[in-house]
C-alpha cells in the first residue's frame, strides 16, 4: 500500500497578501475542501510541519533575504519586488513552516516512512532567487528541499517544474551544479522572461538544465509530447535518487494568469509517469494555480495519482 504524506499547516492561511491578490488563502481552502469531499483526505498521512532553521534557508539564500522577510513581518506589512510580493505580519512564520514542510517531507521519504508526499504550502517558492524574494515567493521551498536532500546523502536530485511560469530562482540557484537536474515546462514568452530552450546550465552544470517552452494555446497533447519524448528520457539519463516537483497548477485551462490549456487529467498523467521513473520517491510542493476550481481539480488529480 502506498503511503502518501500530505503536509500543510494553519499558518499557511495566515499569509495575507491583501484583497484582490491572486495568491490568496482561498487557494489552500479549495484544495483541502476538495480532498475531503472526494475522500482523498482520508487516504493520506496528514502532517503539520515545524519551523525550518535559518541555517537551512541560508543554504540557498543570502542572509539579507531572510532578514528582509523577517523585518517586513515585524513591521506588520511590506511589499517587495515592485508590488506583487507581499509580506504580512504572519508571513515570516508561514514561510518558515513552508520550508519546514519541504524539509520534513524529504526526510520522511528518504527515511522510508512515506513513499511520496504533497506539501500544500503558502507562500510558494520557485521564483525566489538566492538574493531576492520575488513573484509571490519569499523563500525557494523546492530549492531548499533539494539542497537538504543532497546534504542528507542523495547523490543526485531532480527538480521537475510544471508551473506555467518558469522557475527562474530554482534554475539560477543550481545552474552551475551537476548534482541537481532542473527541468521546466512553462509558457513562453511569459513572466519572468527566463527559461529559453538555450538555457542549459553552465560550468559543471552544463546540460543539467532542461527548458521546454510551451506556446499560448498548448494543451494536454503538446505538454504530454514534451514530457514523454524529451523530459522523461533526460530524467532517466540523470538517474536521480529523489524527484522534487514544483507543482504549480496554473497551466490549467481555467487559470487567469496563463494562456495554456492543460487539464487535471494531464497533471495526473505527469504525476503517474514521474512516480514510475523516480522509483516512487517523489516530493511535490504547491506553487501556482489561481482559479479555485481548476486548482482544486488539478491538486486532487495529482494526489489521487500519488496514492494510487
Q: Which residues are catalytic?
A: 127
- Beta-strand runs (E) in 21-84: 45-47, 77-80
Contact of 209 with 196, CB cutoff 8 Å: no
Kindly give, in sequence order, each residue whose CB lies less than 8 Å from that of residue 240, ignoring residues fewer than 6 positions away: 154, 156, 157, 158, 181, 278
User: What is the residue whose three cell numbers read 518558469?
Assistant: 166
> What is the maximal distance between C-alpha atoms in the chain?
49
Distance (Å, whole) CA 262 – CA 178: 31
User: What is the residue whose three cell numbers read 506555467?
Assistant: 164
Distance (Å, whole) CA 183 – CA 167: 9
In this structure, the dihedral spanned by the alpha carbons of residues 286, 290, 296 and 302, taken in order and rounded to 10 degrees, is -40
Distance (Å, whole) CA 30 – CA 296: 6
C-alpha cell at 233: 528520457
* Helix (H) or strand (E) segment spanning residue 97: helix 91-110
Amino acid at each position: 500500500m502506498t503511503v502518501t504524506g500530505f503536509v500543510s499547516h494553519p499558518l499557511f492561511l495566515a499569509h495575507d497578501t491583501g484583497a484582490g491578490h491572486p495568491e490568496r488563502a482561498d487557494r489552500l481552502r479549495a484544495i483541502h475542501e476538495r480532498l475531503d469531499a472526494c475522500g482523498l483526505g482520508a487516504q493520506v498521512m496528514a502532517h503539520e510541519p515545524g519551523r525550518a532553521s535559518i541555517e537551512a534557508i541560508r543554504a540557498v539564500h543570502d542572509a539579507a533575504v531572510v532578514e528582509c522577510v523577517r523585518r517586513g513581518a515585524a513591521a506588520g506589512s511590506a511589499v517587495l519586488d515592485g508590488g506583487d510580493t507581499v509580506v504580512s505580519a504572519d508571513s515570516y512564520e508561514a514561510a518558515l513552516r513552508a520550508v519546514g514542510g519541504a524539509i520534513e517531507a524529504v526526510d520522511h521519504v528518504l527515511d522510508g516512512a512515506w513513499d511520496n508526499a504533497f506539501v500544500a504550502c503558502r507562500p510558494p517558492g520557485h521564483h525566489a532567487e538566492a538574493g531576492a524574494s520575488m513573484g509571490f515567493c519569499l523563500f525557494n521551498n523546492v530549492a531548499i528541499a533539494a539542497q537538504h536532500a543532497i546534504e542528507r546523502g542523495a547523490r543526485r536530485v531532480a527538480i521537475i517544474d510544471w508551473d506555467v511560469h518558469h522557475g527562474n530562482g530554482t534554475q539560477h540557484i543550481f545552474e552551475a551544479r551537476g548534482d541537481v537536474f532542473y527541468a521546466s515546462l512553462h509558457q513562453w514568452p511569459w513572466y519572468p522572461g527566463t527559461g529559453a530552450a538555450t538555457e542549459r546550465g553552465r560550468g559543471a552544470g552544463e546540460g543539467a538544465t532542461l527548458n521546454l517552452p510551451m506556446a499560448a494555446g498548448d494543451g494536454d497533447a503538446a505538454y504530454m509530447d514534451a514530457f514523454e519524448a524529451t523530459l522523461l528520457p533526460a530524467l532517466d539519463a540523470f538517474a536521480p535518487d529523489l524527484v522534487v516537483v514544483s507543482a504549480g497548477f496554473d497551466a490549467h485551462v481555467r487559470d487567469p494568469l496563463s494562456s495554456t490549456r492543460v487539464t487535471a487529467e494531464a497533471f495526473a498523467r505527469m504525476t503517474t509517469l514521474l512516480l514510475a521513473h523516480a522509483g516512487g520517491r517523489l516530493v511535490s510542493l504547491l506553487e501556482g494555480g489561481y482559479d479555485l476550481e481548476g486548482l482544486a481539480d488539478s491538486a486532487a488529480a495529482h494526489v489521487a495519482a500519488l496514492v494510487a
